[in-house]
Amino acid sequence: AQRVTQPEKLLSVFKGAPVELKCNYSYSGSPELFWYVQYSRQRLQLLLRHISRESIKGFTADLNKGETSFHLKKPFAQEEDSAMYYCALSSTGANSKLTFGKGITLSVRP
Amino acid sequence: DTGVSQDPRHKITKRGQNVTFRCDPISEHNRLYWYRQTLGQGPEFLTYFQNEAQLEKSRLLSDRFSAERPKGSFSTLEIQRTEQGDSAMYLCASSPLGWSGGADTQYFGPGTRLTVL
């Protein structure tokens, strides 16, 4: 069975501080990992996916298969980063259903 | 096309009533997903369509739940004889066919919040 664990519910940092949102997964095959973000009163949207290896809004995430982790990082947090962040896993194949973690609230204080 | 839309955005109903939600995916997206999200949890997969064919249903989807996607365009999710435990946000997502070997990017709608009294 596939599972995504986000061990923390809330992370509160000051503007300019580094951010690391943790995500661990379990999956028997070769998964694809995603980070989705939900800003206040907005819909869930894709932030980044591991296969693209992009940096979006200053965020990066590296897939570590040995540690089965996909932590999201940003060196200098901005107030506009305050949102709910969900780590998600998808199997490859016909049904790319997503398995989500419980999410973490990031609060960036001025 | 402004993205995935869902209707209604909010629904309050009494226990035992039937409700139906609608999802309009992004044009030409042939994959459509339904998820349910309860307080403090991430979205949980309910069911998946490729065009008009419903290809997978979660065990979360009891016999009271049914979903359709006639003609492979919009989709409806019906809950019969609602229970208080059905109160949740129901999310719809759509995606194009993924490139070979890759999972598709899913685009989410705003959700329908169901409250069962």
Q: What is the mean pLDDT of each run of 10 residues along chain B (117 residues)?
A: 90 98 93 95 95 90 93 94 97 80 81 97
Position A52 confidence tier, pLDDT thresholds 50, 70, 90: confident
Paired residues of A21 in beta bridges: A72
* Contacts for B32 with CB less than 8 Å, ≥ 6 apart: B23, B25, B48, B49, B69, B75, B92, B93, B94
pLDDT of amino acid B103: 65
Mutate to test the interface with B, among A95, A102, A104, A105 (most CBs of B within 10 A): A95
Asked if residues B11 and B115 have their Cβ atoms less than 8 Å apart, the reply is: yes
Given a cut of 60, whether residue A65 has pLDDT beyond it is: yes
CA-nearest residue to A100 within chain B is B42
Q: How far is B46 from chain A (nearest CA, A)?
A: 9
pLDDT of amino acid B98: 61
**Which residues in B85-113 are b (16+ Cβ under 10 Å) and which e?**
ebbbbbbbbbbeebeeeebbbbbbbbbbe
Mean pLDDT of the A13-28 span: 95
B70/A contact by beta carbon, under 8 A: no
Given a cut of 90, whether residue A56 has pLDDT beyond it is: no
pLDDT of amino acid B42: 96
The proportion of chain A whose per-residue pLDDT surpasses 90, expressed as a percent, equals 73
| C-alpha to C-alpha distances, A7 to A13, A62, A70, B90, nearest whole angstrom | 17, 18, 12, 24
Contact between A32 and B102 using a beta-carbon 8 Å cutoff: yes
**In this predicted model, what pLDDT tens digit does every residue of A22-32 receive, in sequence order?**
999 998 877 88
Mean pLDDT of the A80-84 span: 97
Residue with tokens 């169901």, as numbered in its chain: B114
Q: How far is A14 from chain B (nearest CA, A)?
A: 24
B43 CB neighbours in chain A (<8 A) are: 44, 86, 98, 100
pLDDT of amino acid A94: 64
Q: Which of B49, B38, B52 is nearest to B91 (CA)?
A: B38
pLDDT of amino acid B99: 55
A100 CB neighbours in chain B (<8 A) are: 42-44
B10 CB neighbours in chain A (<8 A) are: none
Interface A-B: count of C-beta contacts within 8 A:
59
Q: How remote is the C-alpha of B84 from its chain's centroid?
A: 18
B70 burial type by CB count under 10 A (0-12 exposed, 13-18 middle, 19+ buried): exposed
Strand-pair category, B10-13 with B112-116? parallel
The more confidently predicted of residues A55 and B39 is B39
Position A51 confidence tier, pLDDT thresholds 50, 70, 90: confident
Q: Which two tokens stand for residue A72?
A: 């999201």
pLDDT of amino acid A96: 82
Helix (H, G, I), strand (E, B) or coil at A30: coil
**Separation of alpha carbons A15 and B95, rounded Å:** 35
**Separation of alpha carbons A9 and B114, rounded Å:** 24
* Contacts for B104 with CB less than 8 Å, ≥ 6 apart: A96, B31, B95, B96, B97, B98
Is the N-terminal amide bond of B43 cis, ω within 30° of 0?
Answer: no
Q: Return residues 6-35 of B near A (CB < 8 Å).
A: 31, 33, 35
Q: Name the CA radius of gyration of chain A, rounded.
A: 13
DSSP state of A38: E
Nearest CB to A45 within list B41, B56, B108: B108
Contact between A96 and B111 using a beta-carbon 8 Å cutoff: no
